[in-house]
Amino acid sequence: MGLAALGVQAGQHVAVVGENRPHLYMAMMAAQALGAIPVPLYQDAVALEMAYVLRDADIAVAVVEDQEQVDKMLEARGECPALRHVVYDDPRGLRHYHDDALLSCAELAERGDAFAAANPGYFARAVAGVQPHDTAAMFYTSGTTGRPKGVVLTHHALIDRARAVARMEKLTDREDVLAYLPPAWIGQNMFSYTQLLVSGFTVNHPESPATVAIDMRDIGPTYYFAPPRVLEGLLTQVLIRMEDASRVKRALFHRAMALARRVGTRLIDGQSVGPIDRLRYALGNVLIYGPLRNALGMSRVRVAYTAGEAIGPDLFVFYRSIGINLKQLYGSTETSVFVCVQADGQVRPDTVGPPVDGVDIRVSDTGEILVRSPGLFSAYHRNPDSTRESMTEDGWFRTGDAGFLEPDGQLKIIDRAKDVGKLADGSLFAPKYIENKLKFFPYIKEAVAFGMGRDGVCAFINIDLEAVGNWAERRGLPYAGYTDLAGKPEVYTLIADCVDEVNAALAAEPQLGGAQVRRFLILHKELDPDDDELTRTRKVRRGFIAEKYATLIEAMYAGHARQHIETEVKFEDGRIGRVAADVAIQDARRHPVRVQEAA
């Protein structure tokens, strides 16, 4: 009723901006109860990015978390004439803000009480007017190839997909979920909002982003979702701690993990395991795996999913081997998330499972995956051309992903269709596959591979400052920050060993053996969404990076040992600066490709 008092009506858009907070979820419910359309925005986006969405969606009312988001709204307001009201949840720091557009959630509730008293029956009439195929929410795509697009999803699409997976996984109101990812991401919204409404389970909100790991251990979720970057970060923390452990503990850990990789996945899939191995694994569970799951906050996890981008097989197997029922799913914003989900007992690291109930999949002649589903989006907001381009003439959605269906019906994703290609010698080139193998190492935070049409693969590496910093400190290696550490010869030797292991693994795969990394460099700065190098969901904007760092790419292929570069960066306070460095370029050792034996 508070939103109604501000003039919000059916069909209008309401922006919701902030970390996971109960009042923000309630604001989404309130908008939907009026037939209005919540539009979650990424809380770490700068005011300029938000202004684009505010204009595109004609936002008149925004519900935000705190002072930081209020400041962004006020800054963007000059470019967004429709924005009239900004409602805030956390009043800290706002005491001396005097602006007629601002009001607190408490003040909004007071206006709602007055509106309800003056308009008896308004709420019931508004709710009764909302129909299944009305728009439920609009989510903006991550914008890997250009401007974000508003994806329009109906109540029916979202609820249908949530119900399908609730049946599949036997979700009940006894599940505990941790809401810690950006609410603007469709994955978080499905797991912590739509499925909450369908299944009635408990959604827990962390105290702050900095306390997520602690809160997760306290809460002990039973139903968990994490993109690969989160799982990579958790594994990095584990491996850093093991590096600091005694030699005996490290030896015990590595021996236990070797057993787990051989036995753990078989046990979790219900396959037969010999009595001796079963006993050894049980002992490892007491000494290693159980405490490790507890340290990760995953002791109670019954079902865990990963999605958002491809996960490296080594990372995937690690979690399953220690007894965590981690499964892959496949989908997108346009499909209400769930297209394919791995079923218990049928989990493989190289597939994303069979289609979920109600979904049909077809692979085009070009290898692109096409989808039909009850969860498909209605349209791209104000973008009929893109809407038409995304669909085939007979109603199939073009996912933009390349892959194929295995004989058992499971879908295998290779890469984004536009990114898969060949090297100059005809070798298959799948950059994401190579990047995921590199990112399995705790010292590598991000990687970008290049090679389409070239005579070899070259790669940019972002080191993980915490992991490599910890490694450097143990060796008494001083450094003054990321740029300094990234340029150390010792760090190049460390990363060269990681690249060498990846090349050895690629050499064992006949199809990809020709795509071993030939040369690499360690970037002088971290790739950052604020610099447009990553999307807000941390996906690499490959084309933008190739253009921005063209000098470095050409230097790698020209055989140069070093290349000077100056790069513009954006600071958190909005200032623009420059980072300059002489970046070293190093050759990588390549291995003989294993010849595929004839069947």
* Mean predicted confidence (pLDDT) in 255-267: 95
Helices 67-76 and 47-56 sit at what angle, rounded to 10 degrees?
60
Rounded Cα–Cα distance for residues 418 and 416 (Å) = 5
Residue 288 lies in a domain: no
Q: How confident is the model at residue 596 (pLDDT cuts 50, 70, 90)?
A: low
The CATH number of whichever domain residue 488 belongs to comes to 3.30.300.30
C-alpha triplet 189, 345, 335: angle, nearest 5°: 30
Check residue 482 and give its pLDDT.
Answer: 95
Residue ending a domain, among 130, 156, 185, is 130
Q: Does the pLDDT at position 301 exceed 70?
A: yes
Residue 432 lies in a domain: yes
Residue 146 lies in a domain: no
Name residues whose C-beta falls within 8 Å of residue 115's C-beta, 6 or more positions apart in sequence.
1, 2, 4, 5, 122
Rounded Cα–Cα distance for residues 134 and 260 (Å) = 49
- Which two structure tokens, joined as six digits, stand for 79? 């470019």
Residue 441 lies in a domain: yes
Rounded Cα–Cα distance for residues 340 and 325 (Å) = 17
Helices (H) and strands (E) in the chain, counts: 22, 25
* Mean predicted confidence (pLDDT) in 425-451: 91
Check residue 552 and give its pLDDT.
Answer: 97
Q: How confident is the model at residue 409 (pLDDT cuts 50, 70, 90)?
A: very high
Check residue 145 and give its pLDDT.
Answer: 57
Least confident of 36-40, 54-58, 362-366, 456-460: 362-366
Check residue 347 and give its pLDDT.
Answer: 94
pTM comes to 0.84
Distance between alpha carbon 138 and the CA centroid of its chain, in Å? Answer: 18
Among candidates 530, 498, 591, which has minimal Cα distance to 50?
530
Q: Does the pLDDT at position 555 exceed 50?
A: yes
The CATH number of whichever domain residue 28 belongs to comes to 3.40.50.980
* DSSP codes of every residue in 341-353: EPPTT---TT---
Residue ending a domain, among 82, 113, 130, is 130
Contact 437, 428 (CB under 8 A): no
Q: Does the pLDDT at position 381 exceed 70?
A: yes
**Each residue of 121-175: pLDDT tens digit?**
999 999 999 999 999 999 998 765 568 899 999 999 999 999 999 999 999 999 9
Q: How confident is the model at residue 595 (pLDDT cuts 50, 70, 90)?
A: low
Q: Which residue(s) pair with 463 in the sheet?
A: 444
Least confident of 3-17, 228-242, 314-328, 386-400: 228-242
Check residue 106 and give its pLDDT.
Answer: 96
Rounded Cα–Cα distance for residues 505 and 437 (Å) = 9
For the beta carbon of residue 294, count every other beta carbon within 10 angstroms: 13
* Mean predicted confidence (pLDDT) in 376-396: 96
Residue 246 lies in a domain: no
Q: Does the pLDDT at position 599 exceed 50?
A: no
Taking CA atoms, 118 is separated from 33, 110, 114, in Å, by: 18, 13, 6
* Mean predicted confidence (pLDDT) in 21-46: 97
Q: How confident is the model at residue 511 (pLDDT cuts 50, 70, 90)?
A: confident
Contact 504, 591 (CB under 8 A): yes
Is 35 buried (19+), middle (13-18) or exposed (0-12) by CB count in 10 A?
buried
C-alpha triplet 219, 16, 122: angle, nearest 5°: 105
- Which two structure tokens, joined as six digits, stand for 18? 């902030």
Among candidates 70, 59, 2, 60, which has minimal Cα distance to 34?
2
Check residue 598 and give its pLDDT.
Answer: 39
Residue 570 lies in a domain: yes
Residue 207 lies in a domain: no
For tokens 């090679």, the residue is 451
Count of domains forming the chain: 2
Q: Does the pLDDT at position 428 exceed 90?
A: no
Residue 21 lies in a domain: yes
Rounded Cα–Cα distance for residues 137 and 157 (Å) = 11
Contact 1, 47 (CB under 8 A): no
Distance between alpha carbon 522 and the CA centroid of its chain, in Å? Answer: 23
**Each residue of 522-534: pLDDT tens digit?**
999 999 998 989 9
C-alpha triplet 180, 64, 208: angle, nearest 5°: 30
**Each residue of 12-26: pLDDT tens digit?**
999 999 999 999 999
Residue type, 435: E
Residue ending a domain, among 75, 95, 130, is 130
- What mean pLDDT, rounded, does the chain reach? 93
Contact 202, 177 (CB under 8 A): yes
Check residue 111 and give its pLDDT.
Answer: 98
First to last CA, the chain: 69
For tokens 């569970």, the residue is 285
Collapsed DSSP state (helix, strand, coil) of residue 472: helix
Q: Which residue(s) pair with 328 in the sheet?
A: 306
Residue ranges making up the domain that contains 541: 421-587
Rounded Cα–Cα distance for residues 492 and 132 (Å) = 57
Collapsed DSSP state (helix, strand, coil) of residue 334: helix
Q: What percent of the chain has pLDDT over 70?
A: 98
> Could you tell me if residue 454 is left (phi over 0), alpha (psi between -120 and 50 degrees) or otherwise beta?
beta
Collapsed DSSP state (helix, strand, coil) of residue 13: strand
- Which two structure tokens, joined as six digits, stand for 384? 């009929």
Among candidates 328, 330, 350, which has minimal Cα distance to 340?
330
For tokens 């009042």, the residue is 23
Check residue 188 and give its pLDDT.
Answer: 94
Q: Does the pLDDT at position 223 exceed 60?
A: yes
Among candidates 510, 451, 516, 489, which has minimal Cα distance to 585?
489
Helices 228-244 and 465-474 sit at what angle, rounded to 10 degrees?
10
